[in-house]
Structure 1
Amino acid sequence: MRPIATGDDVIVNPCESAPLQVVENVELDAKFWLKGHPYSLQNMMNFNPLAEQFIGGTVYQAYLNALSYHRWHSPVSGTIKKVSIVNGSYDYTPNTSLPLLTAIATRAIIFIESDNPYIGLMCFIAVGIAEVSSCEITVAQGQHVDKGDQLGMFHCGGSTHCLIFRPQVNLSFDFHRTEPGLDATNIPVCSCIAVVN
């Protein structure tokens, strides 16, 4: 029912979710500290060789609350290059540790080769938190998807997701008049969250 933002240069919100943060220049392998949780591409992507293409790139992370619509939709039109489910820890983690969960919790990893060459290969990661550790992927490798098509879903509870872009992708984000962080409000699914410059 949500309208899908149009334009080849427009990336849409894959979930009905609130923006947490945007981090640039992410590392392939980062150490986890007691305070502050950097993104570690190898851990997030379960040591997939494709992770090396994203060194120095950008991670956009957002979170869903328990009452949010829990299906995932493709942020771009393109071809599904690889899908996998990673079994992770079943744990209660405070909201301040949401970035850490991208490396340790159960997650669905979907690599998409965008039809727009200025985006190219990107990655969507859906992260189940605690009782949402069931992630269901509904697309297959080699399948072409249009922007807004369903990719999969969570089953109940709250959760988080990431979009990961290669370093050569220059993005301008649109947070829809909310400030990224734990007090952010939901941005509608399939609305514009970023434009490729």
Structure 2
Amino acid sequence: ALRALTNLAASNHAANPKETLHRPADHESSNSFLRKHFPSAHLAQHLDSLESAHHMGNYVIDRETGVKKFEPMSIYVRLGMHLLYYGTEQSKMLHLKEARKLLEEESIKIGREYDTPQSKAHIEPFITSFELWDSLSQLKEPDPAKYDTFNHFFAREIREDARPVQHAHDSEVVCSPADCRLTAFPSVDLATKYWIKGQGFTLDKLLGSDDVARRFDGGSMIIARLAPQDYHRWHSPINGTVVAINEIPGSYYTVNPQAINEATTLDVFCENRRSAMVLKREETGSPVAMVAVGAMLVGSIKYNPGAEAGAQVRRGQCLGAFRYGGSTVIVIYPRGEVALDEDLVKNSMEHSCETLMRVGWSTGRS
């Protein structure tokens, strides 16, 4: 089933690219029969709530408008993730060596497919499906025809003035590392209580080091999930110096909340391929950890040239990019280093909901 779903995403460039995993299922298409015959806003809201409760989709809150909405997602992806991650037997299956190998093979395969010139056929349907045409003006290269491959477009760069850092002159403010769906928790314990429900999550496993993890005991956590339609690069939330980068091998499970919030399944953050960067914050000298987590259909995590140990970085500076798929950046601050913005914490803990964010927006302050 997994091979069939992933093959649908990329295996046939000659087919209509709109009929692939790029095609999101909106309110009308995901429950078309019921919505057609019972066209009410109340029913639409009830169906979305039902899907969310049964791990078939996600709610997000737009920070700019405060509106809570159901996240468009391909019906293939919704059903595929539900079948793979929702339930005890599925969790047992995902631990099998064969399942891990298949996810890795498919991730690498699709990465290669989207590095071919033929993959350009997917660019415009992708833009149309996720309504990205208006955002192209923010890119360094706004013409889709000038991208050599789909991955080239997927890792597109934005103009530096397109994502200004909020409160740029206030060095106490820390910012969002990505255009993302973000959750914020004052402590790691609260993150595991309200959001990270998978089995076996610990900081030392996530960071790949007991010594590093101890420096963040009791610290706060930001989880920035990048959906496929998001600008897929990540940026520094602080001013500081890169201390070290730890490349940690792993699997290629999804980072969608459908898996993260499922208590019976494995912990995908600690199982997935990831890269843990530790920075020293300029203003306080405190450590800050950034973990770039790859995911299902993400074959590579690539740092920008110069993003290495000893490098000086500025708040809002681009550090790296993901190739095709969804992915996550986790930021961890030491205990007492940052007071996270109240609206983000409220959305995460009271509403169990991600917040739509952009690079550079405030997430908290010292």
Q: TM-score range by the shorter chain?
A: 0.7 to 0.9
Match of 2:179 in 1: 16
Alignment of 1:126 with 2:292, yes or no, is: yes
SS in 2 for 1:132: coil
Name structure 1 gaps, 5 residues minimum.
none
1:77-104 alpha-carbon deviations (Å, 9 max, x no partner): 1000001221211235662333722211
Q: Give the Cα separation in 2 of the matches to 1:86 and 1:18.
A: 24
Name structure 2 gaps, 5 residues minimum.
1-161, 262-266
Amino acid at match of 1:16: D
Deviation at 1:131, TM superposition (A): 1.1
Match of 2:4 in 1: none
Count of paired positions: 189
Match of 2:206 in 1: 44
Alignment of 1:66 with 2:228, yes or no, is: yes
Structure exhibiting the larger radius of gyration computed from Cα positions: 2
Alignment of 1:95 with 2:257, yes or no, is: yes
More deviation in 6-15 or 178-187?
178-187
SS in 2 for 1:79: strand
1:46-74 alpha-carbon deviations (Å, 9 max, x no partner): 12522211112112212111100011111
Are residues 186 and 141 of structure 1, via their aligned partners in 2, closer, same or farther at CA, if it must alter by over 3 Å? same
Percent identity for Structure 1 against Structure 2: 22
Match of 1:162 in 2: 330
> In the alignment, is the contact (CA less than 8 A) between 1:128 and 1:160 conserved in 2?
yes
More deviation in 8-17 or 164-173?
164-173
> In the alignment, is the contact (CA less than 8 A) between 2:244 and 2:277 conserved in 1?
yes
Give the alignment partner of residue 276 of structure 2, picking from 104, 109, 112: 109
Alpha-carbon RMSD across the aligned residues, in angstroms, is: 2.7
Are residues 36 and 24 of structure 1, via their aligned partners in 2, closer, same or farther at CA, if it must alter by over 3 Å? same
Are residues 48 and 144 of structure 1, via their aligned partners in 2, closer, same or farther at CA, if it must alter by over 3 Å? farther
Alignment of 1:2 with 2:163, yes or no, is: yes
Give the alignment partner of residue 77 of structure 1, picking from 239, 242, 256: 239
Are residues 70 and 179 of structure 1, via their aligned partners in 2, closer, same or farther at CA, if it must alter by over 3 Å? same
> In the alignment, is the contact (CA less than 8 A) between 1:85 and 1:135 conserved in 2?
no
Q: Give the Cα separation in 2 of the matches to 1:177 and 1:52.
A: 24
Match of 2:133 in 1: none
Higher-RCO chain (CA-CA 8 Å, sequence separation at least 6): 1
> In the alignment, is the contact (CA less than 8 A) between 1:77 and 1:115 conserved in 2?
yes
Alignment of 1:171 with 2:339, yes or no, is: yes
SS in 1 for 2:337: coil
The answer to which structure has the higher strand fraction is 1
SS in 2 for 1:54: coil
Q: Give the Cα separation in 1 of the matches to 2:254 and 2:345.
A: 30
Amino acid at match of 1:18: R
More deviation in 65-74 or 169-178?
169-178
Alignment of 1:145 with 2:313, yes or no, is: yes
Q: Give the Cα separation in 1 of the matches to 2:255 and 2:223.
A: 16
The answer to which structure has the higher helix fraction is 2
> In the alignment, is the contact (CA less than 8 A) between 1:85 and 1:108 conserved in 2?
yes
Are residues 94 and 77 of structure 1, via their aligned partners in 2, closer, same or farther at CA, if it must alter by over 3 Å? closer
1:21-68 alpha-carbon deviations (Å, 9 max, x no partner): 4251549xx9xxxx9237411110012522211112112212111100
SS in 2 for 1:130: coil
